[in-house]
Amino acid sequence: MVTRADIGAYLAEAGSTKDADATVKHLQRLGWLVPVHIRGVWAYLPPGEEAVTDRYIDLRAWRARDSEAVFALAGEAAAWHLGYLDQEFSGPPAIWLPGETRIPFGLRPHVSEVKLGWSANEIKRLVPSPLLLHQRHLDLTKWAGGIPAFGPEALIVQLSTRVKSFRSWADLVPHLQQLAVDCDIERLSKLLDGKSQSGWQRAGYLLHRGGRHDDGLALVARRPTPHMADVVFGDGHDAVWVSQFRIVDRLIAPLQRDLGKA
C-alpha cells in the first residue's frame, strides 16, 4: 500500500519538487500503482501481475491511511480462517466495527458491517488467543492475512446475537464440534456480558450442538436474569424444540439432520 503521504515523503527524500498527485498519476500510467476504494491510497502492482487479487486490499488501505483504525474480520471471513468452512466464502467480507467507528465512505459497498456493542479497546478479547493459534497450528503473524479477525468466542457471540448476519450456516454446521472445542467458556461468558437473554441461550445451545452439552448449560446458567423465554433460532420450515435451552431450533438441528442423511 502507498499513501499520498508516502509519495510526498519519497519525493522530499529524493529532493524532488514534483507534486505528489502528479507523481501518482504518472505511476498509474506506468502500471505501477492501481486505485483502491480508500481515498488517498493506492496499491503497488508487482511487475508481471495484471490485477490485485488480495480480497482484503481495501482493509489494508484503510489501515495504511488511518493507523489507529480498529476493526476485525467477522462472520464467514473469520470462520474460514479458523477452518470452520470447507470452501472459501463468497461476497463481501464481514467486518466488525466498534460502536464509535464509522466505516470510510468508499469502503461501504465492499464489506458487510457487523456491530455488536463492543468498544475499540476490547479488540484483544475478540481475536484468537495465541494458545489457540498454536494448538491449531495457525501462523501467529500471517493468520487471516495479517488482518485482525474474530476468534471462536467472538464468532459464537455474532452467531448467537446476529443470526442473519452469517450466510454460510450449511457449511459451518459440520464444524460445530471444532468450534465448540476451540471455545474458551470464560472468554465467551465475558463477551456475552451485556448481550440479550436470547443471545445467551443461543450461545449455550451452539455449545450443546457442538457436543459440549454440560458447558452449554453452565453458560446459560450464568445469564443475567433467571427467567428464560422461548427463543427462535433461524427461520426454516422445520423446527425442533429443546426444552433445556428453551430454543425453537429452525436452523441447526434441521441442518444436522439433513447433512446426516446426505
Model confidence at 100, in pLDDT bands (50, 70, 90)? confident
SS3 232: strand
Mean pLDDT, the chain, whole residue set: 94
Overall fold of domain 2-60: Phenol Hydroxylase P2 Protein (3.90.56)
Return the pLDDT at 261.
63
What does 165-228 look like in DSSP terms, one character per residue? G---HHHHGGGHHHHHHH--HHHHHHHHTTS-HHHHHHHHHHHHHTT-HHHHHHHHHTSSSS--
Return the pLDDT at 183.
97
pLDDT in tens, 216-261: 999 999 998 888 999 999 999 999 999 999 999 999 999 999 888 6
What does 132-156 look like in DSSP terms, one character per residue? HHHHTT--TTTGGGGS-B--HHHHH
Return the pLDDT at 259.
86
Q: Where are the domains of the chain?
A: 2-60, 70-228
Q: Are 129 and 110 in contact (CB under 8 A)?
A: no
Q: What pTM does this model have?
A: 0.93
Instruction: Cell 476493526: give the residue.
Output: 71
Check whether 118 has a pLDDT greater than 70: yes
pLDDT in tens, 171-189: 999 999 999 999 999 999 9
Q: How far apart are CA 202 and CA 222, in angstroms?
A: 13
Name beta bridge partners: 114. Answer: 96
Q: How far apart are CA 168 and CA 166, in angstroms?
A: 6
Cell of 109: 459497498
Check whether 262 has a pLDDT greater than 60: no
Q: Are 210 and 176 in contact (CB under 8 A)?
A: yes
Check whether 104 has a pLDDT greater than 90: yes
Name beta bridge partners: 113. Answer: 95
Dihedral angle computed from the Cα positions of residues 152, 210, 213 and 160, in that order, rounded to the nearest 10 degrees:
50
